[in-house]
Amino acid sequence: MMKPAVIGQHISKNFGNLSVLKNVDFHVEHGEVVCLVGPSGSGKSTLLRCINHLEKIDGGALYVDGELVGYRRVGNKLYELQEDEVAAKRAEIGMVFQRFNLFTHMTVLQNVIEAPIGVQRRNRREVIEQAQDLLKRVGLEEKLASYPHQLSGGQQQRVAIARALAMKPKLMLFDEPTSALDPELVGEVLAAMRSLANEGMTMIIVTHEMRFAQEVADRVLFMDGGVIVEQGSPKQIFGNPQQERTKAFLSRLS
């Protein structure tokens, strides 16, 4: 049987004396959409950042497509990968942040093609054609020559999604991608993400958009205090939560 796309085993992460992740176990299947929900400070974004080694775990092990994240095992010992090796693995995982992080001096098209050409050394003409197709998929085919300051926040975030997809990732991570947007712009970004989910992209999404999680997620993980309190289908988590902490969180939202 095919191994899960992502496996986390006994993950712990500390910032000084603060324990942010506490012995977390989870997995994500290929083609699955998993939403991480919970209060601020529950460890959701930290867990997401650990998956591509933007944060180093202090205990446990993380695997993406069966390979250790950030380390190499030799016998019974783990050795941290060199930065260039980490960067190569990270290129296989697309990540979209709260802030768009676009290059302000580059056009939309230049933002999307920069990494596939500069990092992956792919053919420029093919990359441009792919970028045009991706921008069309997120509804921005007419903005190729625009600069980020000429775009709305929702448009910038859709460029960021296209930029991540241009690397042909096997996994997409979204860290509260709509939290920095005005409410009227949230829908257009969620629509682009919904389209990805329908295409079978493996996705892990940290979100406060509960309705979106209900509609799109195959599975929802509710986190609080650095642990996964409860997980299940959207119907189970939102319609019939079993843990009192989950019930209390959802009742405040409604």
Asked whether the beta carbons of 3 and 68 are under 8 A apart, the reply is no
Strands of the sheet with 67-68, listed across from one edge: 18-28, 6-15, 59-64, 67-68
Low-confidence ranges of the chain (pLDDT < 50): none
What does the pLDDT look like over 53-93, one tens digit per residue? 999 999 999 999 998 998 888 888 888 888 888 888 888 99
Task: Give, in degrees to the nearest 5, the angle at Cα 254 between 45 and 242.
Answer: 70
- pLDDT, residue 156, reads 94
pLDDT value, residue 98: 85
Maximal C-alpha separation, the chain? 55
**What pLDDT does residue 61 have?**
92
What count of Cα atoms within 13 Å lies in the side-chain half-sphere of residue 36? 29
Per-residue model confidence as pLDDT tens digits over 120-150: 889 999 999 999 999 999 999 999 999 999 9
Q: What is the structure's pLDDT at 76?
A: 84
pTM of the model: 0.93
Task: Name which of 162, 214, 219, 220 is nearest 188 in CA terms.
Answer: 162
Q: Which residues, listed in sequence order, are joined to residue 224 by a DSSP beta bridge? A: 227
User: Alpha helix (H) ranges present in 23-152?
Assistant: 44-51, 83-90, 108-118, 124-137
Per-residue DSSP letter, 1: -
